[in-house]
Amino acid sequence: MSLNKYLDVAPEVAEAIAAGKPVVALESTIISHGMPYPQNVETALNVEKIIRENGAVPATIAVIGGRLKAGCTKEEIEYLGKKGLEVTKASRRDLPVLVARGEDGATTVTTTMIIAHMAGIQVFATGGIGGVHRGAETTMDISADLEELAQTPVMVVCAGAKSILDLGLTLEYLETHGVPVIGYGTKELPAFYTRKSGFSVDYEIDTPEELAAAFHAQRELEFKGGMLVTNPIPEEFSMDADVINKAIDEAVEEAKEQGIHGKATTPFLLAKIKDLTGGDSLDSNIHLVYNNAKLAAKTAAAICALK
């Protein structure tokens, strides 16, 4: 485990890691920027509960008062949920300044991977990853999540990439950087709100044990990057592709008109899509996160069993 002087590992998390027990990292952007209070806090606590029920220890990750937290208390989760958008959405570039100033940060996929790896946590459950934005050939708007997956050895379990992105270019970028993209029980990349995207993943794997074996082999080979596991949203919560794509197109158009770009893009688009779908997209978002937490916990347990 890293002895980084800015890192606080929660006692329960530290004990589990030391004992070789399964731990699953969770991000905090979904709490502060992903949904309104108190739904954000309820969802975060439910995700932790699901991880426990499936045999692992949850470690919600955040930056609080300039400290990198690997494992948050219920009170800290409540604090992040109430502060909401006031909390900085923290990517890799933000960490040095937040730490130096003693400020708060909600961790994205990128920073959750960084802090999880520092603490010795190998598996991370999230909603969806960032990727190559539409029009990136002129804007160069590419999420730092992809670069982190290329260099940080953490397995990320997600429901694919949101179809607000250019999914084809996102897959190309991951391939160029040698990141394995696994479909859990599917040969097709899930598109977050829907189970299908029309794009193929690298491999289909059907059990947590097989996922664990692939990740273990990647570590034994001493490859430096991570692994992306894409887990389709459960059928009953999957949205109609035409409905969600129409909402996405409208939201993307509005973002363009308002000149919204960079890290403000995704929160704006998600809020807009929620309004356009009458809240259905938020419900889908919550259930896909629960589904990913369950798979991540089972896979973390399977990885520990291999050791």
145 marked as binding residue: yes
Q: Which of 27, 48, 76, 148 is catalytic?
A: 27
Which string of DSSP letters, residue by residue, matches 249-282? HHHHHHHHHHT--GGGHHHHHHHHHHHHTTTHHH
Any idea how long the chain is?
307
Q: Coil, strand or helix: which one is 229?
A: strand
Catalytic residue among 69, 162, 294, 298: 162
The verdict on whether 162 is a catalytic residue reads yes
Spatial separation of the C-alpha atoms in residues 149 and 22, rounded to whole Å: 21
Residue 107 bridge partners (DSSP): 90
- Is 204 part of the annotated catalytic residue set? no
Is 8 flagged in the annotation as binding? Answer: no
Q: Is 144 annotated as a binding residue?
A: yes
| Cα 277 from Cα 297, distance rounded (Å) | 31
What letter does residue 38 receive in the DSSP assignment?
T
Q: Annotation-wise, does 201 bind a ligand?
A: no
Beta strands 105-107 and 88-90 are parallel
Q: Confirm or deny that 63 is annotated as ligand binding.
A: no
CA atoms of 231 and 105, how far apart (whole Å): 27
Binding residues for Mn(2+): 141
Binding site membership for substrate: which residues?
A: 89, 109, 143-145
Active site residues: 27, 162
Sequence ranges of the binding site: 89, 109, 141, 143-145
